[in-house]
Amino acid sequence: MSKRVLVVEDEEHILEGLVLNLELEGYDVTTATDGEEAVDRFKQERFDVIVLDVMLPKMDGFAVCETIRLENRQVPILFLTAKDGGQDRVEGLKIGADDYLTKPFNLEEFLLRVNKLVERTTSRSEPEQRSVYSFGPNEVNFSSFQIKTHDGQSKQITAREAKLLQLLINHKDEVVSREQILEKVWGYDVFPSTRTIDNFILNFRKYFEENPRKPKYFHSVRGVGYRFTN
């Protein structure tokens, strides 16, 4: 079965060249030309690797990468960008990219990097894809949506609760704004009341805090957002 690649690139001539060469290598290629379309494609289909430009209309590549990582931590992501600054490279890798290539790039090197990412993924065994995070007496299983609470109880949480937990944990010790949460957890086209987020945080405190009135893990930052500490 052909390996499936999602190529996200808004420059038409670059996109056409990447698609042609990937197809010559035997890949089944799907394309997107802006960040919102990329997220839609990702949610609708399965891919073995994602090639992602950084400078995109509607939603930049970093935001796309973060959104994907909230739902899938395994699919390899290769950033393509005209920016060659060290800070951009660090930022891309920090939010979950597997590799980073600056434009202009050598086509043979690009194909080799894609091939290596696909090979690395297909060699992983299924049990390694299980994702569990522990803090204090608590535990979250992002695969089964099961949690262990501060008093040892097992509970089932919703997919959206798991996604919000994943976002806060991925940004441990950082303040995550309400706007970031609404965009990445609820989606760029759905904006519930910020009170909805407050209710989710209150639930997390009930689940995970020994004293919800004096939280150790889930903190509100007045007028800004929320921070997870461990």
How do residues 108-143 score in pLDDT, each as one tens digit? 999 999 999 998 766 554 434 448 899 999 999 998
- In which order are the strands placed within the sheet that holds 154-156? 132-135, 138-141, 146-148, 154-156
Task: Tell me the C-alpha distance between 6 and 198, whole Å.
Answer: 35
Rounding to the nearest 10 degrees, give the CA dihedral for residues 166, 168, 170, 176. 140
pLDDT digits 0-9 by tens, 137-170: 999 999 889 999 999 999 999 989 999 999 999 8
Q: Model pTM?
A: 0.63
Both ends of the chain: CA-CA distance in Å? 43
Is 185 or 129 the better-scoring residue by pLDDT?
185
**Cα angle 86-92-96, degrees, rounded to a multiple of 5:** 145
Evaluate if residue 4 carries a pLDDT over 60: yes
Task: Tell me the C-alpha distance between 31 and 48, whole Å.
Answer: 14
CB 218 within 8 A of CB 201: yes
pLDDT given at position 123 = 58
**Cα angle 45-49-55, degrees, rounded to a multiple of 5:** 95
For 35-43, what is the mean pLDDT?
93
- Identify whether 104 is preceded by a cis peptide bond (ω within 30 of 0): yes
Task: Tell me the C-alpha distance between 80 and 82, whole Å.
Answer: 7
pLDDT given at position 79 = 93
Rounding to the nearest 10 degrees, give the CA dihedral for residues 185, 121, 156, 41. 40
